[in-house]
């Protein structure tokens, strides 16, 4: 295991001539388990979130994406879960971490009220699949290739 900081990794990657190939390999490694994560998160959302009103199914239909950035202040690997609403993007992070949602009182959209629901529908499956370990192993393999030339 090579174990360096992401900043060190990004610096060595920047200086490497075959940078594009390495980045593509990392992206491929990180996207490979995404279908399994989607299934687990969707199942957890339907099982944990309220069925009445359709919240569980609505969250289960969210879009998943993996992003790898190798430069700038936001360098890193991230998995994003989002859901487009009529006006904007829905904030699924507070729903996952704190179990907070808002809903109109009996359909009156002028008065919205908070409600507590089960949390960690995304974080639980995420941690079970060890994404941090996967990212570390992908970066270690890439760093090994960079150092070998």
- Cα angle 57-62-66, degrees, rounded to a multiple of 5: 150
Extract long-range pairs of 55-58: CB within 8 Å, 24+ residues apart: 55/101, 55/117, 58/83
The pLDDT value given to residue 2 = 54
Question: Which structure tokens are listed for 146?
Answer: 């960079």
d(CA 54, CA 2): 46
> Tell me, what's the pLDDT at 55?
87
Percent pLDDT > 70 in the chain is: 90
Between residues 3 and 143, the one the model is more confident about: 143
Highest mean pLDDT among 28-32, 71-75, 80-84, 88-92: 28-32
Instruction: Name the pLDDT band for 8 (thresholds 50, 70, 90).
Output: confident
pLDDT of amino acid 44: 92
Q: What is the model's pLDDT at position 48?
A: 92
Mean pLDDT of 119-139: 85
Q: Kindly give, in sequence order, each residue whose CB lies less than 8 Å from that of residue 4, ignoring residues fewer than 6 positions away.
A: 12, 143
| pLDDT for the residue 57 | 92
Distance CA 118, CA 95 (A): 8
Question: How much is the pLDDT for 43?
Answer: 94
Q: Looking at residue 82, what is its pLDDT?
A: 81
**Torsional sign, CA 39, 43, 44, 46:** positive
Which of 125, 131, 137 has its CA nearest to residue 25?
A: 137
pLDDT recorded at residue 137: 85
Other residues' Cβ atoms within 10 Å of the Cβ of residue 95: 23
């Amino acid at each position: 295991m090579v174990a360096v900081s992401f900043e060190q990794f990004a610096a060595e990657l920047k200086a490497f001539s075959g940078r594009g190939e390495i980045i593509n390999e990392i992206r491929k490694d990180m996207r490979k388990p995404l279908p399994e994560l989607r299934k687990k998160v969707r199942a957890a959302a339907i099982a944990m979130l309220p069925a009445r009103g359709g919240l569980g199914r609505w969250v289960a239909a969210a879009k998943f994406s993996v992003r790898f950035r190798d430069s700038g202040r936001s360098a890193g690997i991230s998995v994003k879960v989002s859901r487009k609403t009529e006006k904007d993007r829905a904030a699924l992070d507070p729903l996952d971490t704190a179990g907070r949602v808002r809903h109109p009182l009996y359909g009156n959209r002028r008065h919205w009220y908070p409600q507590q629901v089960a949390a960690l529908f995304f974080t639980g499956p995420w941690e079970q699949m060890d994404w941090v370990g996967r990212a570390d192993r992908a970066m270690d393999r890439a760093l090994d290739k960079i150092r070998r030339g």
